[in-house]
């Protein structure tokens, strides 16, 4: 007969749990509208323990941005691996297709949009810059694309973010059909 021994999670496992929970919390209300109390409660931990894992809300939000950045890089890698050829345009197309599936996760998308809007906070601004730097350099290395192709890839991705964020697909109007093209 098994005893009801509970296995304690490590701090690193708890950190990942908190990050996943924080993504949903920050996606709903943004950096300024979300409290650490809400994140701790959703993660099933005390606020004191949350502060043992992350020194403050800003550090937690920066960790969330970094986590989302890693998911984007993994998404781009999966897309590049599925490319039908090594042609830069084909690699970018496959990466864009993979990204479309990733941003269907509205929580991740909304965190990215909120992070860009919280750029008045120096640490968050730097985390967002680092995210873009990592993505651009990965896309450059994986695709072999020109700077112009990379600019268009990211421009189309940013437009896709906004269109998904505002649920433009639910609007049947000339402007939405044009942008969704």
pLDDT digits (tens, 9 = 90+) for 137-154: 999 999 999 999 999 999
Q: Which residues contact 58 (CB under 8 A, 6 or more apart)?
A: 121, 123, 124
**How confident is the model at residue 105, as a pLDDT?**
87
CATH class of 57-180: mainly alpha
Domain regions of the chain by residue span: 57-180
pTM comes to 0.88
- Predicted local confidence at residue 9, as pLDDT: 67
> Mind listing the pLDDT tens digit for each residue in 77-104?
999 999 999 999 999 999 999 999 999 8
121: DSSP letter:
S
DSSP string across 123-162: HHHHHHHHHHHHHHHHHHHHH---HHHHHHHHHHHHHHHH
Q: What's the Cα-to-Cα distance from 102 to each of 3, 39, 49, 157, 174, rounded to whole Å?
A: 41, 23, 31, 11, 26
């Amino acid at each position: 007969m098994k005893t009801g021994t509970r296995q304690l999670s490590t701090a690193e496992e708890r950190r990942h749990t908190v990050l996943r929970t924080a993504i949903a919390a920050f996606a709903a209300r943004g950096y300024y509208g979300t409290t650490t109390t809400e994140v701790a409660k959703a993660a099933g931990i005390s606020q004191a323990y949350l502060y043992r894992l992350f020194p403050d809300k800003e550090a937690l939000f920066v960790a969330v941005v970094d986590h989302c950045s890693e998911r984007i890089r993994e998404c781009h890698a999966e897309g590049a691996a599925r490319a039908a050829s090594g042609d830069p345009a084909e690699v970018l197309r496959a990466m864009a297709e993979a990204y479309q599936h990733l941003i269907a996760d509205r929580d991740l998308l909304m965190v990215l949009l909120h992070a860009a809007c919280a750029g008045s906070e120096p640490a968050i601004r730097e985390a967002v810059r680092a995210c873009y730097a990592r993505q651009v350099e990965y896309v450059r290395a994986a695709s072999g694309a020109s700077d112009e192709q990379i600019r268009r890839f990211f421009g189309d991705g940013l437009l896709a973010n906004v269109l998904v964020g505002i649920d433009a697909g639910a609007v049947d109007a000339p402007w939405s059909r044009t942008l969704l093209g």
